[in-house]
Every structure is written in C-alpha cells, then in structure tokens.
Amino acid sequence: MSDVLVIAETRRGELREVSLELIAAALGVKQASGARLLVAILDQEPERFAPSLSADGVDELLLVPTPTEHFEAHVSQRALEELIEAERPGLVLLGHTIDSLGFGPAVAARRGLGFASDVISLSWEDGPVAGRGAYGDKLVAELDFPGKDCTLLMLRPGTFEAAEADPTHPESVPTRSVELALDGVAATEHVSFDEVQESDVDITKAPFLVSIGRAVEDKDEIPRFEALAQRLGATLSVSRPLVDAGWMPSARQVGQSGKTVKPRVYLALGISGAVQHLAGMRTAETIIAVNTDPEAPIFGVAHYGAVADLFEVVDELEQVLG
C-alpha cells in the first residue's frame, strides 16, 4: 500500500493538538495496511515543530517552508497538491478544522481525490472506510472510495486519542526538507488578528453551568434563565444561535468558536448537541440534558437525560427551589 500523509497544523508558532490525533489515526491504518507514515509540516519555520511530532511509528517528517508567516489557504492548497504529486500517498489526513477546511476540499476537487470531511471513524478494508455523521449526527454514514488512488479525509478533532511524541528523541524520526515553489501563490493578505476579548464573566471557571439553546426562542425569556441559574448557584452559558441573535455576549458561548468549558455540572436546556457545541463541553464531569427530541445528539454525551419540554421542567425547578 502507498503512503499515508498527515498534514500537521500550526497556528501562531504552536502545534495544534489535532496533529497528534491525525498521527494516531494514521497509525491505525499503518498497522492494518503496512503503509509508511509521512507527516508534513507547512510553516514558515517547519523545523521547530519536528520534535513535538516525533511520535513512534512516524516514518518521515517532511519540512515544507512556506513564504507566509500565517496560514494562507492558497499556499497550503498548492503545497498539498505538490506533495500529493511527488509522494503519491494513498491516503491524506487533515483535521476537520477551520484552516484545513479552507483548502482541503479544493485540493480534493482539483485532483479528483476520494474525499470525506468530519470523519469520526476510520478503518481499512483494502482501502479506507470512513464513518461520518448524517442528519445532524442523528445517524452515521459509512463511506468507501472505490476507484480512487488517493483519498483525502478530514478527521473531527477530539475523536481520535492523540499520539504521544517524544521530543527528547527528535533524531528518532528522519526529517526531509521539501522546497516547493510557493512564492506568489497566496491570494489573500493577512492584516491582523482580532484577539478574544476579556470579559467580566468567565464561564470557563464556573463549576456549574446552566446552558440554554435555541429552543428558548424568545429574548424576553432570558432573564428568567438568569434568575434560575442564580438560584441554582450556577452561571448562565449559551449555544451559538443566542449569540448570533445578539441576545447574549460571545463570552457566554460554549463551543468550537466560543469557550471550552469543563464544569462539574453542565445542565443543557434545549440544545441539540451539534458537533461544534459538543467540542466545547463534552468533557464536563456531569452533563444533564433536557430536550424534547429523544434522538438529539446531546443525549449521546449526557450522563443524565430527560425527554421533556424545558419550560415545563423550568416551571417545576422554580417550584422546587421555592
């Protein structure tokens, strides 16, 4: 079997955790297929990440210097296309992350690759077999890629347990510098970063969160949930639609584009449990979910669940609390 190529991710001088998860997933394939495992680092100074990617089982680290300081989608796109051309991997693994979603699908389209995004399981049966959510994660679709010499899969972060690198033995994995013609390829110009704003409420420190979702439906209901949270001794957090609607500040948002929280108790009221929401709260110690839909994916991570109308439950909670 031809090689497995993992594309590591870096941002502002740091390696992103998903990179080691991709390596772990690739190691599974390597075991089943006998492939070699190559890990490419696309960065202005790729060599600085070599030690933290030197995990057991990685056969070679490809150091690909980029002309831009920060991620640039078209540079990554061209680099990956050229790597595929030169290395002829049978399988390419990327993270299902904002950066990689900015170029991975374009590479798959242009090169006619097998392709799937938001992949949550990966196995090998003469070729890759990938599982991904369907209908808002209420079902799983199992995919294969017949007739494709190369398949690009984008794996959901937090799904595969990260491999462990051994930075004390960087020499254990051979590195190779790959110089690609990437000057003039960028089609966007980085201006700046808007840093995350500090806020007076820090939901990441709260031991108990009452979290409300779109099912609340009405801005005027929010004070009621604030009062409920207060009486329970909790802090109020929300899913994204309430921030998008301008009802709550972004500092209260739990999820991929908001905060990652790990409270002792997370009480989710009327939140479906979309993947980007779960990304921010799935490691909470105890998750209690109230939702009218028995198939809501939130029940897949919850420890306690109730199929019930949240307003009826809140009426009763107010009674119980007196």
Ligand X SMILES: Cc1cc2nc3c(=O)[nH]c(=O)nc-3n(C[C@H](O)[C@H](O)[C@H](O)COP(=O)(O)OP(=O)(O)OC[C@H]3O[C@@H](n4cnc5c(N)ncnc54)[C@H](O)[C@@H]3O)c2cc1C
Segment 194 to 253, residues that bind ligand X, using CB under 6 A: 213-215, 239-241, 253
Nearer Cβ to another protein (150/173): 150
Distance CA 170, CA 185 (A): 31
Q: Which of 46, 263, 280, 305 binds ligand X (CB under 6 A)?
A: 280
Nearer Cβ to ligand X (123/276): 276
Instruction: Please provide the size of the chain in residues.
Output: 322
Report CA torsion sign: 190, 118, 90, 113. negative
Helix (H) or strand (E) holding 75: helix 73-87
Beta carbon of residue 225, minimum distance to another protein (angstroms, whole number): 14
Give the CA angle between residues 32, 176, 79 to the nearest 5°: 85
Beta carbon of residue 81, minimum distance to another protein (angstroms, whole number): 10
Place of tokens 């739990």: 254
- Token pair, residue 193, equals 């970063």
Beta carbon of residue 307, minimum distance to ligand X (angstroms, whole number): 9
Tell me which of ligand X, another protein, none is bound by residue 305, counting a contact when its beta carbon lies within the kind-specific cut-off of 5 to 8 angstroms. another protein
Residues 133-160 as b or e (16 or more Cβ within 10 Å = b): beeebeeeeeeebeebebbbbbbbbbbb
Is residue 10 involved in binding ligand X (CB under 6 A)?
Answer: no
Segment 138 to 197, residues that bind ligand X, using CB under 6 A: none
Is residue 100 involved in binding ligand X (CB under 6 A)?
Answer: no
Beta carbon of residue 210, minimum distance to another protein (angstroms, whole number): 10
Is residue 293 involved in binding ligand X (CB under 6 A)?
Answer: yes
Tell me which of ligand X, another protein, none is bound by residue 227, counting a contact when its beta carbon lies within the kind-specific cut-off of 5 to 8 angstroms. none
Nearer Cβ to ligand X (271/287): 271
Nearest residue to ligand X by CB is 255
Nearer Cβ to ligand X (286/292): 292
Is residue 132 involved in binding ligand X (CB under 6 A)?
Answer: no
Q: What does the longest C-alpha to C-alpha distance in the chain come to?
A: 70
CB 240 within 8 A of CB 276: yes
Beta carbon of residue 174, minimum distance to another protein (angstroms, whole number): 31
Question: 312 to each of 151, 200, 241, 316, how far by Cα in Å?
Answer: 49, 31, 22, 6
Phi/psi of residue 153, nearest 5 degrees: -120, 140
Nearer Cβ to ligand X (2/260): 260
Nearer Cβ to ligand X (3/99): 99
Nearer Cβ to another protein (226/311): 311
Q: Give the distance, in angstroms, between the CA of residue 2 and the centroid of all CA atoms in the same chain.
A: 27
Q: Give the distance, in angstroms, between the CA of residue 11 and the centroid of all CA atoms in the same chain.
A: 14
Helix (H) or strand (E) holding 136: none
Which amino acid, residue 47? E
Which amino acid, residue 98? I
Q: Which of 292, 316, 318, 321 binds ligand X (CB under 6 A)?
A: 292
Stretch that binds ligand X, among 14-22, 34-42, 190-198, 286-294 (CB under 6 A): 286-294
Residues that bind ligand X (CB under 6 A): 213-215, 239-241, 253-258, 270-272, 274, 276-277, 280, 290-293, 296, 309-311
